[in-house]
């Protein structure tokens, strides 16, 4: 954090904390209009994908930035949500009223089981056990030959909502994803500011002390983990609808690593920082991948440089906070 930020009065920091998200969402809302004006509908699709991953990054930031739970398998819940949609679509169930709740519920259930076991460990053991469970789900998806195996599965179409909305329209789907992102952000802000959120942060700072004064830290962390898994599952539901395709690659450890990079780059413990991180990572990926297939050789040093120059995340440069 810069010296200017440290010396700024509290009301100025609060103003920045509100202004930055407003500007961010205003820019996202302008994308369809700008894309239409320049005749580039591709940008609508690109930023739809970015916002879907931003939802997953928000969910991870909630448990990582506020709960201190370094999950290296969070993309697994995205994959569970996506496969719920894909499997139901394969069997002719295309109603979003069925697909979406089941996708979120399946991801929450997976997070409950994994979290209940993983949270009995600490430190590097927690990281490794979340990775192990995620890889187990990844190889399970690979083994589902009926649903495409490692080749993945193409969906018959996007979810339907009894004619209320038409997800097949790219702009309509964009606004829905933006709305989900906005509600997810506002909802998590409320949770973080609540007694539950303060307790969760206390568990991160000193779990033994929180337990000593009577808090069931295991229960608080498990509830947070399940909530995060459910929200990540929702991002998987949206991703399946966006690509009209599901694949085991959605739940690979590489994708989980991408989510961690987004959170750390944007600003750990800053919810809108997770959105900024998703935009930076995926926008850079799109630009650099057009230059060379070895784009990670360029992106890696750029990432190191950005993290080095923006200690605490990109949003900290502007005095941003959750």
Residue-wise pLDDT for 15-31, tens only, equals 456 788 899 999 999 99
Task: Find all residues with CB under 8 Å of 65, minimum gap 6, and list them.
Answer: 263, 268, 269, 270, 274, 322
Q: What does pLDDT average to over the chain?
A: 89
pLDDT for 304: 79
pLDDT the model gives residue 7: 45
Name the pTM for this structure.
0.91
**Dist. CA 196–CA 303, nearest whole Å:** 33
Query: For position 16, what pLDDT does the model report?
Result: 55
From residue 207, alpha-carbon distances to 199, 223, 322 in Å are 10, 15, 22
Question: Would you state the pLDDT for residue 37?
Answer: 92
- Which pLDDT value is given to residue 295? 77
Best CA proximity match to 75, nearest among 235, 220, 183:
235
Q: Other C-beta atoms within 10 Å of 154: how many?
A: 15
**Could you say which of 2.40.400, 1.20.120, 1.10.287, 1.10.3470 is the CATH number of the domain covering 3-318?**
1.10.3470
pLDDT < 70: residue spans in the chain = 1-17, 310-311, 317-322
**Dihedral, CA atoms, 69, 74, 80, 85, nearest 10 degrees?**
110
């Amino acid at each position: 954090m810069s010296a200017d930020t440290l010396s700024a009065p509290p009301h100025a920091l609060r103003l920045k904390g509100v202004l930055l998200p407003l500007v961010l969402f205003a820019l996202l809302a302008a994308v369809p209009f700008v894309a239409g004006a320049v005749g580039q509908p591709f940008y609508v699709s690109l930023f739809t994908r970015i916002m879907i991953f931003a939802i997953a990054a928000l969910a991870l930031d909630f448990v990582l930035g506020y709960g201190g739970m370094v999950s290296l398998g969070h993309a697994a819940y995205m994959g569970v949500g996506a496969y719920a949609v894909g499997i139901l679509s394969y069997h002719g169930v295309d109603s979003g009223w069925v697909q979406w709740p089941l996708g979120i519920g399946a991801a929450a259930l997976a997070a409950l089981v994994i979290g209940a076991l993983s949270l009995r460990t600490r430190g590097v053991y927690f990281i490794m056990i979340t990775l192990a469970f995620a890889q187990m789900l990844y190889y399970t998806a690979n083994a589902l030959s009926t649903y495409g195996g490692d080749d993945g599965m193409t969906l018959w179409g996007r979810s339907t909502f009894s004619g209320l909305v038409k997800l097949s329209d790219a702009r309509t789907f964009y606004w829905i994803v933006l709305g989900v992102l906005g509600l997810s952000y506002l909802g998590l802000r409320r949770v973080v500011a609540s007694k539950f959120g303060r307790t969760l942060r206390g568990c991160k700072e000193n779990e033994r002390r929180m337990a000593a004064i009577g808090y069931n830290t295991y229960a608080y962390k498990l509830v947070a983990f399940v909530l995060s898994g459910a929200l990540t599952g929702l991002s998987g539901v949206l991703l399946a609808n966006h690509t009209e395709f599901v694949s085991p690659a959605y739940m690979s450890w590489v994708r989980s690593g991408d989510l961690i990079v987004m959170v750390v780059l944007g600003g750990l413990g800053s919810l809108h920082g997770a959105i900024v991180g998703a935009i930076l990572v995926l926008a850079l990926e799109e630009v650099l991948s057009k230059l060379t297939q070895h784009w990670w050789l360029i992106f890696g040093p750029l990432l190191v440089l950005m993290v080095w120059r923006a200690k605490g995340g990109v949003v900290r440069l502007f005095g941003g906070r959750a």
